[in-house]
Amino acid sequence: MLKHCVFIRFRPEVSDEQRAELYQGLKNLETQLPGWLGFLAGANVTPEQGMDKGYNGGFIIDFADKAARDAYLQNADHQQLGQRLVAAAVNGLEGIMVFDLFC
């Protein structure tokens, strides 16, 4: 399994409702993509002061393998949502971190 982890420094003016809409748009991709195994999203709730480095939201998608993740990356709806995420992040791409790992 591959975990696709995305952490976002949302701009302060991006509301909880707007964040939820972005997350829901991503979750809706599940029906389009074979090998999608799970999805979690939400606010960063760590109590460890300073350890969040400003990342205040994010999501994790579980994929069966690298091929399933790659199909997601090439999906046109994902790319459109990705542009919206970049626009919602502090300093655009600088406000997003992606970390993939095999489990």
- Nearest-angstrom CA–CA distance, 53 and 98: 14
Residue whose entry in the numeric block shows the structure tokens 């709730």: 45
pTM: 0.94
Set out the domains of the chain in order of their start, with CATH numbers: 2-102 (3.30.70.100)
Give per-residue pLDDT as tens, 74-98: 999 999 999 999 999 999 999 999 9
Give per-residue pLDDT as tens, 45-61: 999 988 999 999 999 99
- Nearest-angstrom CA–CA distance, 92 and 84: 10
Residue pair 100/60 in contact (Cβ under 8 Å)? The answer is no
3-state secondary structure of 82: helix
Q: Distance of CA 40 to CAs 3, 29, 31, 53, 82, Å? A: 11, 13, 15, 20, 16
The pLDDT of residue 76: 96
